[in-house]
Amino acid sequence: MSQSSSSPASVNLGWRVTFAGMGINLALGILYTWSVISKGIPAEWGWTEAQRSLPYMFACLIFALMMVPAGRMQDKIGPRIVASIGGILVGIGFVIASLNPSLLGFIIGFGVLAGTGIGFGYASATPPAVKWFPAVKTGLIAGIVVSGFGLASAYTSPLTKYLIATYGIQQSILILGIGFLVIVLGLAQLLKTPPPGFVPAGAAPAKAATVTSVKENFLPTEMLRTLQFPIIWFIYACGAGAGLMVISKAAFIVKVQAHSELGYMLVAIMAIGNGAGRIGAGMLSDRIGRKNALMICLLVQAVLLLVLSQAKTGSFLVSVPVLSFVFALIGANYGANLALFPSLTKDYFGLKNFGVNYGLVFTAWGVGGFILPYVAGKVYDSVKSFDRAYYGACIVLVLAAVMVQFLRSPQKTQSAPATQP
């Protein structure tokens, strides 16, 4: 017999799934600590600043691309198996990187294998959680789950700095890989989707079908043919890319602009903002709408990058309290993207194919994360300043904010037999 409403036990199970997904993301968020790992790579390896971006760039791109097959697998066979595969791949990737201290070894280990594993784990964390709760909580639940990914650097940044100082870069990568493999595998066993027919407590009663009912669940091919998809994709690439540009270079930015070795601390502060921004933006969007929340975050991020461009030696902006505040807000506005776009995808294209549909939308995150950090690295190698990269990102963010105004909910209809009231 189908479950028409949620019981206290099923509500508790929903929260268990939510926090298990958050825990998985707390492990997989090691990706955001790349600026600390990169800074710990010995000078004798001879990597340029642009080359130091490559493993991270490949990880972001592969992570995003793998979200599509991982999302499809999650929809078909469930989140537990897919997340377990992700944990294994992350562990193997870190082991390979630790045993091959070369640019190619890090690209294959950290970029390709760990990037694939992160994609599999991340794709499996949010979909099962949001299915346990009504639509009015979508932003909140999605924000809680993905907040783990953003918050991760709050502990992985100082942990990684300590490990590198104590054991060296190769041994540190090995320790992190084995640790996160065990954590992700364990938490993956707690992921579970609701049974067929499950209706969350507080959900609006189902409406009687009519001949012209609005289509609620889009197939991936149908979503790709809508006007909304390329607009959403472009906005996501801009918002995520601008944030990832700073995150990937945070420790180095602090070193060259403030002449400080406290970059690892600001990476951790940015992580706290990143995680808090995901929850806060999710809750805010449940109240004022996804578009309004997205517009605010894009424009505020543009202003913050302008502020960061002026944070240099001799300016009050390079004081630790001010830099901490700026980096926390940059992290928060970046993190908002990771809560708003899964919620927007669910709102516009439905929950049935959410895993693969959001995987397709998420490719924008990978493209943005691949291009903007690399451009920033090339700009710095050329002129020894990130200013031009900041200004370019500001232009991109304002353009994305303008594009938000063109977003409209899809109005596709489907035939369905009318029912008696």
The yes-or-no verdict on residue 156 having pLDDT over 80 is yes
Q: pLDDT category, 211, cuts 50, 70, 90?
A: very low
pLDDT digit string, tens, across residues 129-148? 988 888 788 878 888 998 88
Instruction: Give the Cα separation of 80 and 67 in Å (integer).
Output: 15
pLDDT of residue 416: 43
- Percentage, residues of the chain above pLDDT 90: 37
* pLDDT, average across residues 277-294: 89
Q: What is the tens place of the pLDDT at every residue in 255-284?
A: 888 777 777 778 778 888 888 888 888 888
Measured between alpha carbons, how far is 84 from 117 in angstroms, rounded to an integer? Answer: 9
Residue 419 has pLDDT above 70, yes or no: no
* pLDDT score of 367: 87
Q: Quote the CA–CA distance of 118 and 341 in Å, as a whole number.
A: 18
Per-residue model confidence (pLDDT) at position 8? 55
**Domain spans in the chain, listed from the N-terminal domain onward:** 8-202+209-414
Q: What is the pLDDT of residue 259?
A: 76
pLDDT, residue 260, reads 74
What confidence category does residue 240 fall into, taking pLDDT thresholds of 50, 70 and 90? very high
Percent of the chain as helix, strand, coil, to the nearest 5: 80, 0, 20
| Each residue's pLDDT tens digit, 74-132 | 888 889 999 999 999 999 999 999 998 889 999 999 999 999 999 999 989 988 998 88
Q: Which residues pair with 213 in a beta bridge?
A: 414
What pLDDT is attached to residue 399?
A: 96
Looking at the predicted structure, is the pLDDT value of residue 304 above 90?
yes
Higher pLDDT, 419 or 174: 174
| H helix or E strand, kind and range, residue 213 | strand 213-214
The answer to whether 59 and 31 are in contact (CB under 8 A) is yes
Contact 260, 390 (CB under 8 A): no
How far from the centroid of its chain's Cα atoms is residue 129's Cα? 16
**351 or 213, higher pLDDT:** 351
Rounded to whole angstroms, the Cα distance separating 166 from 181 reads 22
Highest mean pLDDT among 45-59, 260-274, 312-326, 392-406 belongs to 392-406
Closest by Cα among 309, 23, 54, 289 to 155: 23
pTM for this entry? 0.75
Nearest residue to 127 (alpha-carbon basis) of 298, 348, 350: 350
- Structure token pair of residue 8: 């206290």
| Local structure of 230: helix, strand or coil | helix
- 74 touches 127 (CB < 8 A): yes
85/15 Cα distance (integer angstroms) = 23
Q: Highest mean pLDDT range out of 152-156, 312-316, 409-413, 414-418?
A: 152-156
**How far is residue 292's CA from residue 261's CA, in Å, rounded to a whole number?**
38
pLDDT per position as a tens digit, 328-380 = 999 999 999 988 998 899 889 988 888 889 889 988 988 888 788 888 888 88
| pLDDT computed for residue 300 by the predictor | 95
pLDDT digits (tens, 9 = 90+) for 40-66: 888 888 888 778 888 988 888 898 889
pLDDT above 60 for 321: yes
- The pLDDT of residue 412 is 55
Find out whether 365 and 240 touch, Cβ atoms under 8 Å.
yes
Sequence-distant (≥ 6) Cβ neighbours of residue 133 within 8 angstroms: 14, 140, 141, 200
pLDDT band, residue 32 (cuts 50/70/90): confident
Give the residue, 300 or 262, on which the prediction is more confident: 300
- Give me the architecture of the 8-202+209-414 domain, per CATH: Up-down Bundle (1.20)
Identify the weakest region by mean pLDDT among 42-56, 219-233, 295-309: 42-56
pLDDT value, residue 411: 61
Average pLDDT value for the chain: 85
> CB–CB of 154/268 below 8 Å?
yes
Q: What is the mean pLDDT of residues 160-183?
A: 92
Q: Which of 8-12, 129-133, 191-195, 321-325 has the lowest mean pLDDT?
A: 8-12
Say how many C-beta atoms besides its own lie within 10 A of residue 85's C-beta. 20
pLDDT at 387 > cutoff 60: yes
